[in-house]
Amino acid sequence: MTEDEPAIFAEGLAKSYRGKVAVADVSLRVERGETFGILGTNGAGKTTTVEMLAGLRKPDHGTVRILGLDPRGDRRRVRQVLGVQLQHAHLHNALRVKELIGLYRSFYRSPRSTAELLEMVDLREQAGIVFEKLSGGQQQRLSIALALAGRPRVVILDELTTGLDPKARRRMWAMVERLQQEGVSILLVSHAMEEVERLCDRVALIDGGRVIALGTPRGIVAGAGEETLDDAFVALTGREPEDIG
């Protein structure tokens, strides 16, 4: 049964590539209905962590559970309830927006309607355009729509608003808030402090492949004795905000 299982549970995750440690030790727990942020610099281990949580990579050590299910061992069930937006959108170049949405909808038992998905990411006017003719921001929004196509209960969003203009960014935030109202559990990987402070209930700060701080955005700021999440990040990691990515 999955009644009391957290949305995402990870314990002692570790992953090395050819002897180089990407993730040393990451444990986290995303409760149902919670929005949980992961912050970290480039090379901190965020992407590898996300890939292990999504079941794309097998951890060297540690355990992952999505609603109590093993994303690799119980792939079929996990894929119906977990939506994942990967950092770089890789889709069929020659297919139109509505065709791609139709394709991804077809994978799921009770998908959202095409009209609803187009509306959620503001791509109604681009429905007939082929993927390779979309702007970078539009491609990213489409990628987000596809992650939501199956009406997932748990969503992993990797760099949700990176590369989006301010208007599109606010639109995506409104979309996340709508998911929150629907009770969807969300893991948000980000380097935008403002975004994390606004949307996330709790945040894990990852550095050097480890979780170095975990708590509410406000709690992390207070714990570091700083005024803003930006300053707290610098104080905790010793890195300038420019390094963040």
Partner 1 sequence: MTTAIDGGRPGARSMLTLVGCEAKMVVRDTAGLVVPIGLPLLILLTSASGAGDDVIVNGRTALDLYVLPLLLAMVMGAIGIINMPSFLAYYRRSGILRRLGVTPASPLMVLFAQAVVSLVQAAVGIALALFVAVVFFDARPPVDVGAALGVLALAMAAMYGTGMIVAALAPTPNSAVAIGLVGFLGIGAIGGMFGGREALPPALAEVGGWLPVGATVDALGAAWAGTAVDAPPLIGLAAAILVGTVTAVAFFRWE
Piece of the chain touching partner 1 by CB under 8 A; list 87-95, 195-203, 223-231, 237-245:
87-95
d(CA 190, CA 245) in angstroms, rounded, equals: 8
83 C-beta neighbours (distance < 10 Å), count: 25
Write each residue from 14 to 33 as x if it is in contact with partner 1 (CB under 8 A), else as -, in one continuous string.
--------------------
Report 53-82 residues binding partner 1 (CB under 8 A): 54-56, 67, 69, 74, 76-77, 79-82
Provide the minimum distance between the beta carbon of 151 and partner 1 in the complex, in angstroms, as a whole number.
11
Write each residue from 125 to 154 as x if it is in contact with partner 1 (CB under 8 A), else as -, in one continuous string.
-----x---------------x---x--x-
Q: Which of 69, 96, 64, 92 shows the shortest CA–CA distance to 3? A: 69
- Give the DSSP H or E segment for 164: none
Q: Are 190 and 156 in contact (CB under 8 A)?
A: no
Q: Which of 54, 104, 1 shows the shortest CA–CA distance to 121? A: 104
Provide the minimum distance between the beta carbon of 66 and partner 1 in the complex, in angstroms, as a whole number.
10
Which residues, 6 or more positions from 148, have their beta carbon under 8 angstroms from its beta carbon? 83, 112, 117, 120, 155, 179
When asked if residue 181 is in the footprint of partner 1 (CB under 8 A), the reply is no
- Write phi, then psi, for 25 (nearest 5 degrees): -165, 100
Among 84, 155, 160, 203, which residue sits at the site for partner 1 (rule: CB under 8 A)?
Answer: 84
Q: Are 201 and 36 in contact (CB under 8 A)?
A: yes
In the bound state with partner 1, the residue whose beta carbon lies nearer, of 52 and 193, is: 52
Among 88, 128, 225, 242, which residue sits at the site for partner 1 (rule: CB under 8 A)?
Answer: 88
User: For binding to partner 1 (CB under 8 A), which residues are involved?
Assistant: 1-3, 54-56, 67, 69, 74, 76-77, 79-82, 84, 86, 88-95, 99, 102-104, 106-109, 130, 146, 150, 153, 183
